[in-house]
Copies of this chain bind each other. A is one copy, B any other.
Amino acid sequence: MSTEDPEALLDEARKWWTTSIVDIHPGEIAMRGYPIEQLIGRITFPEMIWLMLMGELPTRAKAQLLEAALVSSVDHGPQAPSIAIARMAATCGPGLNGAMASAINVLDDVHGGAGQQCMEIYYEVEAEAGADGDLAKAAATVVARRKEQGLKYFPGFGHRFHPLDPRAPRLLQLVSEAADRGETSGRFAVIGAAVEDALSQGRAKRIPMNIDGATAVVYCELGLPTELGRGVFILSRSVGILAHAWEQTQQGGRIKGPQAKFLNYTYDGPARRDLPEPDQRG
């Protein structure tokens, strides 16, 4: 590199991190081009989330759908591993940031990925149908294809606990009302219903859309990339994670384990044995 122009190298070094999100100069901060002091107090938090993630401001109507989805997913109780982790962590010494990090970290494919996976299915149905296609038929095709591929847990539908998840119909109602007002297409509400039909076909009992299926409808209506479906879910669930970490902090507890001490755990390994000499091992 000794022959290279140092000015050029400096310029390259300055480009190592390049962003279109935020521009900062002494006394100036702009998000996506908007001076921060114009945004504070004039846009809502969900609008800021949208601006940061998508690059442009949403319509008020779309921001309200995003807001409803953010409100809907904040918490599902301490039996969820993410919440239990936040609460246990809060008794081990780190600040709320550490408790939140350990918890948010587990919102991965299995615990936090259903919404994202459901969005992939909805988008696949839309692509399958084509611009003027038959959504019901496309949904049936996609559901059949996924089952053939061995999909075991169909993301967004059914719930181990709720016969009907009370969050889903309320979110769908909001999408439907927005569609009636022409604020959104409503296309993914139709797709979601078609997937539910296809899944429930031939069963005595329907497999109803759950919260992940309903937020996926909202996020697809809003045109979010699927990865951001999970991202926005994490922003929402972070609220519950923080609330539980904080409640646990107030309740106290030191090095709190997962269940009552007297329950302990069960050992099913080898019986007591003596350490063999080195040449008797392996």
Contact = CB atoms under 8 A, between A and B. Distances in A.
Interface in A55-108: 55-62, 64, 67-68, 70-72, 74-82, 84-85, 87-89, 91-98, 100-108
Given A35-B166, A282-B62, A247 B107 contact: no
Interface residues of A, number: 150
A17 B71 contact: no
Interface stretch (A26-34, A124-132, A191-199): A26-34
A6 interface: yes
Contacts of A251: 18
Interface in A97-124: 97-98, 100-113
B81 A255 contact: yes
A240 interface: yes
Interface of A: 1, 6-7, 9-10, 12-24, 26-46, 48-49, 52-53, 55-62, 64, 67-68, 70-72, 74-82, 84-85, 87-89, 91-98, 100-113, 153, 161-167, 169-171, 173-174, 227-228, 230-231, 234-235, 238-240, 242-247, 249, 251, 254-276, 278-279, 281-282
Closest 6 CB pairs of A and B: A20-B269, A93-B108, A59-B282, A33-B270, A101-B105, A93-B109
Contacts of A23: 267, 269
A238 to B, nearest CB: 6
13 contacts: A13-B263, A17-B258, A18-B251, A18-B266, A21-B269, A27-B164, A36-B72, A43-B71, A48-B239, A55-B270, A56-B282, A93-B106, A227-B246
Contact of A97 (B15, B48, B112, B173): B112
